[in-house]
Copies of this chain bind each other. A is one copy, B any other.
């Protein structure tokens, strides 16, 4: 079958790989309906995250169950499913508390930019849709596997509540998804930080009421201007650098919340700044599994379109062009179909 292998920084290839097989009785095999490239795939692609051997990359997926292991009871062959990028048992104390991405048995899912995928812990990881969706629903449903779920977690971790003024730092696909999450969770004012016209347009479509093009201290000053000097109630930090985290914290009102989902790259935080601002922070890999039932319902309700973040569609065979386009910022997020 066709799959994707990252051989070295900048060298990603579509290749013929062995068809995945059931290895554990808790596994499922999925025929991929759609997959995509994540912003976090660019870290190893750009050589910033080191790796020492070629590996089958990709962790966002939806598709039809082809086969399940002997112990799998909640999904069956023929069902359309979406899963989290972290496989989880969904029964341990961390899962039951809503942190499936911190499951006692957690397994990072990989090899998903492929025609078929083996998913471990299928019962705890996969959620089936009410029916087999039409092709035009695939972008919205695929987005739930990571990018939309991650934006959702950013908004929840930031503590977005109805009527809030919410800032989103980062205009990548996750940042745009956080704008949509803030809107769905009732934020009254959503300030998106973006300096790209195409991303600003999607942010506005998703519910942004204000755009801030400045960065760093100037961006913070703009947020203060827009909030009568008070600062924002909640901030979704969707980049993962020292500068973006500082911008997020400095944009908050006293006691405001920052949800951070950009994978921190060497970020070390001064506790003094958190102490004087009373800002609450929470971050991490999103427990997407927890949100899937709700988010699937929202997509099926018909007015929730997280798939708008995909602005490039390619056949799976052209995955390398998806990486290039995202790396060169010609595309926000590449949608791939086998």
Contact of A269 among B98, B102, B269 (CB under 8 A): B269
> Is B267 a contact partner of A278 (Cβ separation < 8 A)?
no
Q: A280-B282, A281-B281 are in contact. Are A98 and B255 (CB under 8 A)?
A: yes
Asked if A101 lies at the interface with its beta carbon under 8 angstroms from chain B, I say yes
Whole-angstrom CA separation of A70 from B277 in the bound complex: 32
Asked if A245 lies at the interface with its beta carbon under 8 angstroms from chain B, I say yes
Residues from chain B with Cβ under 8 Å of A264 in the complex: 271-272, 274-275
Whole-angstrom CA separation of A229 from B94 in the bound complex: 11
Residues from chain B with Cβ under 8 Å of A155 in the complex: none
Interface centre among A268, A271, A282 (most CB of B within 10 A): A271
Asked if A283 lies at the interface with its beta carbon under 8 angstroms from chain B, I say yes
Residues from chain B with Cβ under 8 Å of A23 in the complex: none
Whole-angstrom CA separation of A47 from B285 in the bound complex: 42
Q: How many copies does the complex hold?
A: 2
Asked if A93 lies at the interface with its beta carbon under 8 angstroms from chain B, I say yes
Residues from chain B with Cβ under 8 Å of A230 in the complex: 93-94
Closest Cβ of chain B to A237, distance in Å, is 10
Closest Cβ of chain B to A191, distance in Å, is 17
Interface centre among A229, A245, A253, A280 (most CB of B within 10 A): A280
CB nearest neighbor in B for A103: B254
> Is A253 a contact partner of B93 (Cβ separation < 8 A)?
yes
Asked if A6 lies at the interface with its beta carbon under 8 angstroms from chain B, I say no
Q: A254-B94, A280-B157 are in contact. Are A271 and B275 (CB under 8 A)?
A: no
Chain B proximity mask over A276-294: 1 for CB below 8 Å, otherwise 0:
1111111111010000000
Contact of A255 among B97, B274, B276, B281 (CB under 8 A): B97
Q: A230-B94, A264-B275, A279-B282 are in contact. Are A99 and B269 (CB under 8 A)?
A: no
Whole-angstrom CA separation of A285 from B279 in the bound complex: 11
> Is B269 a contact partner of A271 (Cβ separation < 8 A)?
yes
Residues from chain B with Cβ under 8 Å of A271 in the complex: 245, 260, 264, 267-269, 283
Contact of A254 among B97, B269, B272 (CB under 8 A): B97
CB nearest neighbor in B for A242: B271
Chain B proximity mask over A38-49: 1 for CB below 8 Å, otherwise 0:
000000000000
Asked if A263 lies at the interface with its beta carbon under 8 angstroms from chain B, I say yes
Asked if A73 lies at the interface with its beta carbon under 8 angstroms from chain B, I say no
Q: A264-B272, A271-B268, A275-B263 are in contact. Are A94 and B281 (CB under 8 A)?
A: no
Whole-angstrom CA separation of A131 from B214 in the bound complex: 55
Interface centre among A245, A253, A284 (most CB of B within 10 A): A284
The A230-254 residues at the B interface (CB cut-off 8 A) are: 230, 245, 253-254
Residues of A within 8 A of B (CB): 93-94, 97-99, 101-102, 104, 157, 228-230, 245, 253-255, 260, 263-264, 267-272, 274-285, 287
Known: A268-B269, A274-B282. 5 other contacts (CB 8 A): A97-B253, A99-B278, A245-B271, A275-B285, A278-B283
